[in-house]
Amino acid sequence: MSRKSFFLIVFLILGSVCFSQSADFITEMIEAETVSYEDVGYLCAVNLGLVSDSSSTQDALIALDKAGVISMPKEPTANISYSALANMCMKTWKIKGGLLYRITKANRYAFREFQSRVLIGTTVDPYSTVTGIQVLNLITQCMEIAGEIN
């Protein structure tokens, strides 16, 4: 076995132990029919390094609120809509929107920005709920825009 292969195996074993909770969370997200503000907040806060993988979803939302990324939603366990998801993503990955988004920071204009970038389909209702796969797909696209993924 080459030295490179050995280090790759050691890295994979350590990585699976260190990130087992986030892997479980991602697995749950893939299977989820609906996703809450807390769930999306957790993914955003972990990505920003505001909380660790082992933090709760509630702690993640509190950290995002304290950091000024988002305001604490009135109902954190409520299902998130496409427009709210778009706004959380815009703020988390610092995606510059159009003029009206920059002025208002409103969900409506974040949603419209994502539609204009073809990240969300033009026939999607901004108030419809989002599945786990759709959340992960949109977050991955935001990470690509922000340059975190090549």
Which tokens hold the place of 30?
């893939």
State the Rg of the chain over Cα.
17
HEC readout, 84-143:
HHHHHHHHHCCCCCCHHHHHHCCHHHHHHHHHHCCCCCCCCCCCCECCHHHHHHHHHHHH
pLDDT at 23: 79
pLDDT at 1: 56
pLDDT in tens, 46-92: 999 999 988 999 999 999 999 999 998 999 999 999 999 999 999 99
pLDDT at 85: 97
pLDDT at 5: 56
pLDDT at 53: 87
| pTM greater than 0.75 (yes/no) | yes
Is the pLDDT at 19 greater than 80, yes or no?
no
Per the listing, tokens 């496409």 go with 82
pLDDT in tens, 76-89: 999 999 999 999 99
pLDDT at 128: 97
Separation between Cα atoms, residue 56 and residue 54, nearest integer Å: 7
Distances (CA, A) of 68 to 40, 76, 85, 120: 16, 16, 16, 26
Packing angle, helices 132-145 and 82-92, rounded to 10: 30
pLDDT in tens, 80-129: 999 999 999 999 999 999 999 999 999 999 999 999 999 999 999 999 99
pLDDT-based confidence at residue 11 (cuts at 50, 70, 90): very low
